[in-house]
Chain A
């Protein structure tokens, strides 16, 4: 997609009949870049600057401190569990919506979008209301000695809720536009349902799927609101990285707060790089029919 639009843009630029005046061009460019520098680049640099203000030694010490390590471990665990679950659910939901006609389809579609429109804090409160000590199922859970709130399961549930639309939302329009002819062709040729999915459906959606997974992963690692309500913020136990950053900051331990924050920012940057690479591959794969993997004759 992006490759196509740059080609068009440069063509407009070369042609004097479609070229805009220089002052307009540079005003727009300046506005865009200034905005970007002020609101995105500068804070990002500030995070790393503050984290490394006192040099590498204190930075490393802040990162390998037990509570910080525990927060990193918890964040990675949450991402490792919630992302695969949302991957399976997202593919199933997209499949259902794109390839079948049924009553309540529009309802399901709206429902998938719900986590985008509900404030994360409300999500956390909903879980407290259901599973908290005074919640609907609180007494029952306590009687059976099951801890959901202020423990890993609660954090997982809240994270799954807020990351739930990413994969499905990414796949639905793609699968709808692809239709089901290729799948039908596979079935007529004798493929089983699983063979059809593995050899035909999955290769057609792989880039969009990966893209959705990356977005879901970024959100799972960075989620603050919903998780902060259900986590209880027990140091070294139920603090994820974003929560750890807040706690350190509130304790005026700025160097440590920025050190952990810089790790989160780094994760985000890595995610962005992978995302860009995936988009690039997807654009290649679409145009020339996976020409990138073509063997030379």
Chain B
């Protein structure tokens, strides 16, 4: 089922949760709503489900206005961050719930329900837990049961609210891959909310970035990551190093140093320049042109690579540089050592435009 969200506004008291949000979700797509907490992503998900009422705007399911469609008729599956499993029911009864509450005419008989429940439990690979109670399961198992329960009523849309938010890092990673595979198998239009950029980039076909109740940018994961439309998006999708400067001939003037880069702006424009940790190089030759003076404060070993933390000498500023291990061995850095930082790639945003 395709979903259109049109000009949704929602406020809670004086807090604006959603400010004129319009989005399209295509049939069979897996979309991530990504943003910091309080950006309105969960509210949007709940409005699509019908659990929350928008102040203005409309939600179209399969092209039809669903504003007056009751939650139970919207054919959505909803997975809650804290699972919301029925505590007093076994896993089996939890999954069977959606089938058992159907009106008499549409309700399958108990044998059919049992078949269906076992089929779903097999799908989430937890059939052996059918007789357990939710309190006896681990967090990852609970969330998979919650997903099986949501799928039991054959929803046309699957909505997941921070589905892995309450799980530890390893289980989260496992479930991400598992969710992706499940989606390949079922192809139900799915929207999931997350504040974890890695999760969004890894799992989703498309990422919608939200901030302060507005959509900042949307697109395929690599497009959003490589071509962020705003400093917010750039900053949210990973670690950043920030330079304040002015566009000059052949680069950006930062303090007394001119960093070489291509610029789409006219000379004299004040800009913010961003570089990711792996887009900065450390040079030990202090005579190097076009490098910012900095002092090494810490060298951190991160397994497959390393991170060097530095302090700018000209302005008091913190830099973070990712250095491959082989490179680190060659550089042979010691804390307190003075070096030069040379960006291999800079992304510029005009400062004026941001202020307005």
Closest to B93 in A: A199
> A199 contacts which of B77, B97, B136 (Cβ < 8 Å)?
B97
Interface centre among A188, A200, A287 (most CB of B within 10 A): A188
Given contacts A189-B72, A191-B97, 5 further A-B contacts (CB under 8 A): A189-B101, A204-B88, A287-B135, A288-B133, A290-B87
* Residues in A neighbouring B123, C-beta threshold 8 A: none
* Residues in A neighbouring B97, C-beta threshold 8 A: 186, 189, 191, 199
6 A-B interface contacts by CB (under 8 A): A182-B87, A185-B146, A189-B72, A190-B153, A195-B101, A200-B86
Interface centre among B76, B84, B136, B146 (most CB of A within 10 A): B84
- The yes or no answer to A103 lying at the interface (CB within 8 A) is no
B356 to chain A, nearest CB (A): 37
A197 to chain B, nearest CB (A): 12
Cβ–Cβ contact B86 & A182, under 8 A? yes
Query: Bound state CA distance, A288 and B133, in angstroms?
Result: 8
* Residues in A neighbouring B134, C-beta threshold 8 A: 289
B204 to chain A, nearest CB (A): 22
Give a binary string over B82-124; 1 marks a CB under 8 Å from any A CB, 0 the rest: 1011111000000001100110000000000000000000000
* Residues in A neighbouring B80, C-beta threshold 8 A: 181, 184-185
* Residues in A neighbouring B133, C-beta threshold 8 A: 288-291, 294
* Residues in A neighbouring B295, C-beta threshold 8 A: none
Which residues of A29-49 are within 8 A (CB) of B? Answer: none
A215 to chain B, nearest CB (A): 23
Cβ–Cβ contact B153 & A290, under 8 A? no
* Residues in B neighbouring A191, C-beta threshold 8 A: 72, 97, 101
- The yes or no answer to B149 lying at the interface (CB within 8 A) is yes
Assess A190 versus B84: contact at CB under 8 Å? Given A289-B135, A289-B136, A291-B133.
no
* Residues in A neighbouring B101, C-beta threshold 8 A: 186, 189-192, 195, 199
* Residues in B neighbouring A185, C-beta threshold 8 A: 78, 80, 84-86, 146, 149
Which residues of A186-213 are within 8 A (CB) of B? Answer: 186-192, 195, 199-200, 203-204
Cβ–Cβ contact B51 & A188, under 8 A? yes
* Residues in B neighbouring A294, C-beta threshold 8 A: 131, 133
Query: Bound state CA distance, A84 and B76, in angstroms?
Result: 38
* Residues in A neighbouring B86, C-beta threshold 8 A: 182, 185-186, 199-200, 203
Closest to A196 in B: B101
Cβ–Cβ contact A188 & B135, under 8 A? no
- The yes or no answer to A295 lying at the interface (CB within 8 A) is yes
Closest to B70 in A: A187
Query: Bound state CA distance, A199 and B101, in angstroms?
Result: 10
- The yes or no answer to B32 lying at the interface (CB within 8 A) is no
Query: Bound state CA distance, A259 and B78, in angstroms?
Result: 61
B268 to chain A, nearest CB (A): 54
* Residues in A neighbouring B257, C-beta threshold 8 A: none
Residues on B lying within 8 angstroms of A by beta carbon are: 49, 51, 71-72, 76-78, 80, 82, 84-88, 97-98, 101-102, 131, 133-136, 146, 149-150, 152-153
Cβ–Cβ contact B88 & A190, under 8 A? no
Query: Bound state CA distance, A288 and B87, in angstroms?
Result: 10
- The yes or no answer to A297 lying at the interface (CB within 8 A) is yes
Query: Bound state CA distance, A157 and B317, in angstroms?
Result: 74
Cβ–Cβ contact A203 & B88, under 8 A? yes
* Residues in B neighbouring A285, C-beta threshold 8 A: 88
Which residues of A144-197 are within 8 A (CB) of B? Answer: 181-182, 184-192, 195
Assess A295 versus B131: contact at CB under 8 Å? Given A182-B86, A290-B87.
yes
* Residues in A neighbouring B87, C-beta threshold 8 A: 182, 204, 289-290
Closest to A296 in B: B131
Interface centre among A199, A285, A289, A294 (most CB of B within 10 A): A289
Interchain residue pairs A-B with the least CB separation, the first 7: A289-B135, A189-B98, A289-B133, A181-B84, A185-B84, A191-B101, A203-B88
> A182 contacts which of B76, B84, B98, B102 (Cβ < 8 Å)?
B84
Closest to B146 in A: A185
* Residues in B neighbouring A190, C-beta threshold 8 A: 72, 98, 101-102, 153
Query: Bound state CA distance, A155 and B80, in angstroms?
Result: 49
Cβ–Cβ contact B72 & A187, under 8 A? yes
Cβ–Cβ contact B88 & A188, under 8 A? no
* Residues in B neighbouring A184, C-beta threshold 8 A: 51, 78, 80, 84
Cβ–Cβ contact A188 & B102, under 8 A? no
Interface centre among A187, A190, A203, A297 (most CB of B within 10 A): A190
Query: Bound state CA distance, A200 and B134, in angstroms?
Result: 14
Query: Bound state CA distance, A287 and B150, in angstroms?
Result: 26
Interface centre among A184, A204, A288 (most CB of B within 10 A): A184
Closest to B161 in A: A181
B338 to chain A, nearest CB (A): 54
Query: Bound state CA distance, A100 and B346, in angstroms?
Result: 51
Query: Bound state CA distance, A295 and B98, in angstroms?
Result: 23
Query: Bound state CA distance, A213 and B118, in angstroms?
Result: 40
B350 to chain A, nearest CB (A): 43
